[in-house]
Amino acid sequence: MAIEYAVVESLDLETFLTVLRNSGLAERRPVADQSRIRRMLENANLIVVARDGDNVVGVARSITDFSYCCYLSDLAVDRSHQGRGIGKRLIEETRKAAGPEAMCLLLSSPDAMAFYKAIGMPQPENAFLYKRER
């Protein structure tokens, strides 16, 4: 069965948590704080999912103004589906939905740097970051 991609209005908490856990991204997200994860979902205004049948196997969660900038905060693909181009396609679908005028920013974990380099995502030298306090 082919993977289907879609922009969705919302995503339920349990589905998001399942994808975070199955992808390994849960190690770097506050999954024990469901109130915080719920706020992350509720305040995202661009969510793209990858479905294998009825199962969501990938999520790209972003905040964007659809005209100038898009921050792709979470890119997660179930480990059982990694290596099939799903992450790359989720980024493509996110960029398409954000629009051609919007740049797309993503902050990588150290473990994922090789993936973003391998798919040809440009790496800026002009970024600055205040890390979260908790």
The 10s digit of each residue's pLDDT in 116-131 is 999 999 998 888 888 8
Is residue 1 pLDDT above 90, yes or no? no
Q: Is residue 124 part of a domain?
A: no
Q: Which two tokens stand for residue 66?
A: 């659809």
Domain count, the chain: 1
Q: Binning pLDDT at 50, 70 and 90, where does residue 51 land?
A: very high
Q: Is residue 87 part of a domain?
A: yes
What average pLDDT score do residues 100-116 get? 91
Structural domain boundaries enclosing 102: 3-119
- The answer to pTM > 0.85 is yes
Q: Select from 20, 24, 78, 88 the least CA-distant residue to 51.
A: 78
Q: Is residue 125 part of a domain?
A: no
Q: Is residue 13 part of a domain?
A: yes
CATH label of the domain that carries residue 11: 3.40.630.30
Q: Which residues of 60-73 are buried (b: 16+ CB within 10 A; e: fewer)?
A: bbbebeeeeebbbb
